[in-house]
Amino acid sequence: MTTMVKDMLRTYPADLGGVNRGAMERCISACFECSQACTACADACLSEDMVAELRKCIRTNMDCADICEATGKILSRHTGYDANITRTQLQACAMVCKSCAEECERHADMHEHCRICAEACRRCEQACNELLATL
């Protein structure tokens, strides 16, 4: 996905201003990767025998997946850019990724999918914070 994101940023016909393209590319890719990981983790949790104990994890995964997907989409649109919207969305994404990672880490010793999801959430949280620091 990173190559596609890089190609799309490179071919954007207008000036992106002072946006750090590398940080933007990493963040967009991390958002979509995290969304997929959270969706798959929630689904895997639903297949576990102890599904009742995983309710909060499932809910957090679903919320994180939606927010990461929306963030990736918002970051992919540059026409009519509003830094305040972007900044607020990135802050929300970093916060939900942190919460989801913490929840998944609680189950990581028992469920490999939760460990993998927590890692994706941490990468996305870091990518959002890195991009925020450049805005």
- Which pLDDT tens digit goes with each residue over 40-54? 999 999 999 999 999
Q: For the domain with range 2-8+20-134, which CATH number is right: 1.10.3720.10, 1.20.1270.360, 1.10.10.10, 3.40.50.2000?
A: 1.20.1270.360
What pLDDT is stored for residue 2 in this prediction?
A: 66
What's the whole-number average pLDDT of the chain? 93
Q: Domain limits of the chain?
A: 2-8+20-134
Whether residue 11 is predicted with pLDDT greater than 90 in this model: the reply is no
Q: Which residues contact 109 (CB under 8 A, 6 or more apart)?
A: 115
Residue 33 — left, alpha, or beta (φ > 0 → left; ψ -120 to 50 → alpha)? alpha
pLDDT, position 65: 98
pLDDT in tens, 89-134: 999 999 999 999 999 999 999 999 999 999 999 999 999 999 999 9
